[in-house]
């Protein structure tokens, strides 16, 4: 193929890419001596008319566009050769490296570079979406973004390429639904064949999440279609995290609606409500304290139970009687031949131990807290605090499950590394409390419940493995 001349004008230099029925070539225009890119669509056994419609639309779109960060339309050819028939689109060549290539090579991007890249791409999208009708790229992803002259302090010049999935909002394919894009970067509405300017914002947001996490969006967990990434980028400014979550909001109505709005929101972040909110289930002593940064489950004191009362009657009350006798009459030790100081110490120690048990029963709270950095389990008693279990990194949480400790009484277990955090191990949790915690924890952790119990009657199936 190298050295072959197409249309008596374009000398092929090398192949840039190939897929079924298509190939992309780097060629030299023999008239201008400039390098060009030639995209070819072949009429083969696997040819579909839909492919030709998209190919022609890409050519027509590029012909109408004029932006320094978008390849320029140069020519459109019909290929009629003995060994190949089809069509070719000729466009300007951009000497750059894809964002995907940078990431694969292990290059990282600072927060300032991510913002710089976001602003450059938003400016391109503003231009596209302001066309009449708006031009929607529909396939924003790292492999369709080129960087030219990137240095250690700047991302360089940014280009958006490959308009093979482009659509304008006036274009319709009769009564058919056309689903185009790349899984992981496609907004939910694109799976139904619908595309809007906000659909490109979702692709951009997913691309930037790849940059800040180093993981493809499909490698990150999801909760209610939301990409769960915040726990992996704790070093990022919370305003940038909030903006990326806004860009990738699954609901079209709640997502940023235009590239201009997204650009302004990046420059002037919205107020993030960090005021903790206390939520309590009716009929339960459990409490939740949460905001956008953490969730904390407050487990109330267990209260004075029958066992503690029995212990007091069996040990505490006799100790009190003994101390009174020793203090007021000093008779008992002479009869028994036992040192009264020793008896006083033993009885007092027993009373102190029982008193501490009563304090714990009446006033000690357990608090399991999960924030962007870690999970911790602590005890709180009359203003004092100490760790009930050793804290662990948030990203080590692998699953959580529900265990039945007796009939219709349950506990929650959160597994983080080699450590288990248990909620309800003493008093147990009711069905209504489990249902409530299942919803709250699943939404915050982005993890479904791993359980073998038949909980479908009171826990939403979408929360279960």
pLDDT value at position 119? 96
Q: 374-381 and 365-371 as β-strands: parallel, antiparallel, unpaired?
A: antiparallel
pTM: 0.66
Inform me whether the pLDDT recorded for 237 exceeds 50: yes
pLDDT value at position 79? 84
Q: Which alpha helices (H) appear in 72-196, and where do they start and end?
A: 99-104, 111-129
Average pLDDT over residues 228-254: 90
pLDDT band at 100 (very low <50, low <70, confident <90, very high): very high
pLDDT band at 333 (very low <50, low <70, confident <90, very high): very low
pLDDT band at 438 (very low <50, low <70, confident <90, very high): confident
Query: Torsion angle of alpha carbons 263, 268, 270, 276, nearest 10°?
Result: 140
Q: 384-393 and 374-381 as β-strands: parallel, antiparallel, unpaired?
A: antiparallel
**Alpha-carbon 64 to chain mean position:** 37
Task: Give catalytic residue positions.
Answer: 139
pLDDT in tens, 177-188: 456 678 889 999
Which tokens hold the place of 69?
């960060």
Distance, CA of 291 to CA of 274 (rounded, Å):
6
pLDDT value at position 315? 66
Average pLDDT over residues 221-227: 84
pLDDT in tens, 378-423: 988 888 888 888 888 877 888 888 888 777 778 888 888 888 888 8
Inform me whether the pLDDT recorded for 255 exceeds 80: yes
Distance, CA of 371 to CA of 293 (rounded, Å):
6
pLDDT value at position 112? 92
Q: Give the number of other Cβ atoms within 10 Å of residue 251's Cβ.
A: 11
Task: Give the residue among 433, 399, 426 at the shortest CA–CA distance from 413.
Answer: 399
Inform me whether the pLDDT recorded for 465 exceeds 70: no
pLDDT value at position 334? 47
Provide the total of helices (H) and of strands (E) in the chain, helices listed first. Answer: 11, 22
Inform me whether the pLDDT recorded for 176 exceeds 60: no
Distance, CA of 227 to CA of 215 (rounded, Å):
11
pLDDT band at 427 (very low <50, low <70, confident <90, very high): low
Helix (H) or strand (E) holding 37: strand 35-42
pLDDT value at position 137? 92
Residues 6 or more apart from 18 whose CB is under 8 A from it?
A: 24
Inform me whether the pLDDT recorded for 33 exceeds 80: yes
What is the rounded average pLDDT for all residues in the chain?
Answer: 82
Percent of the chain with pLDDT over 90: 32
Average pLDDT over residues 264-284: 82
């Amino acid at each position: 193929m190298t050295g072959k001349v197409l249309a008596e004008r374009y000398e092929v230099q090398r192949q840039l890419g190939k897929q079924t029925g298509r190939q992309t070539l780097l060629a030299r225009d023999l008239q201008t001596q400039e390098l060009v890119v030639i995209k070819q669509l072949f009429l083969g056994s696997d040819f579909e008319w839909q492919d030709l419609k998209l190919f022609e639309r890409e050519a027509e779109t590029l012909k109408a566009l004029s932006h320094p960060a978008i390849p320029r339309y140069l020519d459109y050819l019909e290929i009629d050769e003995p060994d190949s028939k089809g069509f070719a689109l000729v466009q300007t060549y951009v000497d750059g490296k894809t964002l995907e290539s940078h990431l694969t090579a292990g290059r990282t991007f600072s927060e300032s570079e991510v913002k710089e890249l976001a602003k450059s791409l938003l400016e391109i999208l503003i231009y596209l979406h302001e066309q009449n009708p708006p031009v929607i790229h529909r396939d924003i992803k790292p492999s369709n973004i080129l960087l030219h002259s990137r240095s250690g302090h700047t991302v360089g010049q940014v280009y958006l390429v490959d308009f093979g999935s482009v659509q304008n909002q006036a274009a319709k394919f009769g009564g058919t639904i056309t689903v185009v894009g790349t899984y992981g970067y496609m907004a939910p509405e694109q799976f139904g064949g619908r595309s809007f300017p906000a659909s490109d914002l979702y692709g951009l947001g997913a691309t930037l999440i790849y940059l800040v996490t180093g993981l493809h969006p499909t490698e990150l967990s999801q909760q209610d279609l939301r990409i769960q990434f915040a726990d992996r980028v704790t070093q990022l400014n919370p305003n940038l995290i909030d903006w990326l979550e806004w860009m990738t909001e699954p609901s079209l109505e709640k997502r940023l609606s235009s590239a201009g709005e997204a650009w302004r929101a990046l420059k002037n972040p919205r107020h993030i409500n960090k005021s903790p909110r206390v939520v309590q289930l009716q009929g339960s002593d459990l409490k939740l304290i949460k905001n956008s940064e953490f969730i904390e489950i407050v487990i109330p004191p267990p209260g004075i139970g029958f066992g503690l009362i029995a212990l007091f009657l069996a040990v505490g009350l006799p100790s009190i009687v003994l101390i009174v006798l020793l203090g007021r009459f000093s008779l008992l030790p002479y009869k028994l031949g036992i040192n009264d100081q020793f008896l006083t110490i033993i009885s007092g120690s027993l009373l102190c131990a029982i008193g501490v048990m009563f304090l714990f029963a009446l006033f000690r709270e357990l608090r399991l807290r999960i924030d962007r950095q870690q999970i911790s389990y602590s005890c709180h008693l009359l203003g004092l605090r100490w760790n009930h279990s050793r804290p662990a990194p948030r990203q080590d949480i692998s699953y959580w499950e529900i265990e039945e400790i007796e009939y219709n009484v349950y506990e929650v277990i959160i597994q983080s590394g080699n450590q288990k955090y248990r909620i309800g191990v003493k008093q147990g949790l009711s069905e209504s409390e489990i249902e409530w915690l299942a919803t709250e924890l699943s939404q915050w952790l982005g993890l479904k419940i791993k359980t073998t119990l038949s909980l479908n009657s009171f826990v939403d199936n979408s929360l279960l493995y």
